[in-house]
Amino acid sequence: MSVSASEVYRVERTWGTEPVKRGSKLPRAIGTALTGLPLPGKMPTFEATVRIVDQAGTVVYSSTGPTSTIDALELEILNDLIRLDVEAFRRSYGIEDDTP
């Protein structure tokens, strides 16, 4: 009987606290000066990291990127953890089998 990947691995995620890229405030200031109305700014983007961790606490896979990309990747990994057996999961994410 095959072992579910969720019995061997777990997913961890961390979020960045500093915005990735700060845009120039000059265009907003000019627009506000011309129209007399405050113009809304862009929402800041942050980086996040998702990791796959084995039972020993070793990080076996890690990916960092914008939160929207990591959101999608995390959902994909969680879905695979639930539906795949451990061997298929390892092949899918390039994780080496370190069992003796």
One digit per residue, the tens of pLDDT, for the chain of length 100 reads 588 999 999 999 998 877 776 667 777 778 788 888 887 777 778 889 999 999 999 999 999 998 889 999 999 999 999 999 999 999 999 998 765 4
Kindly state whether residue 89 falls inside one of the protein's structural domains.
yes
User: Which pLDDT belongs to residue 68?
Assistant: 86
Kindly state whether residue 98 falls inside one of the protein's structural domains.
no
- Per DSSP (E only), the strands in the chain are 9-15, 47-54, 59-66
Range of the domain at 77: 5-93
Which position has the token pair 């890690």? 62
User: Which pLDDT belongs to residue 57?
Assistant: 92
Number of separate domains in the chain: 1
User: Which pLDDT belongs to residue 100?
Assistant: 46
Q: Which amino acid is at 20?
A: V
User: Which pLDDT belongs to residue 70?
Assistant: 92
Q: Coil, helix or strand for 92?
A: helix
User: Which pLDDT belongs to residue 23?
Assistant: 65
Residue 67: burial class (beta carbons within 10 Å; 0-12, 13-18, 19+) = middle
Kindly state whether residue 49 falls inside one of the protein's structural domains.
yes
The closest of 13, 14, 15, 11 to 80, measured between CA atoms, is 11
Kindly state whether residue 46 falls inside one of the protein's structural domains.
yes
Q: Coil, helix or strand for 99?
A: coil
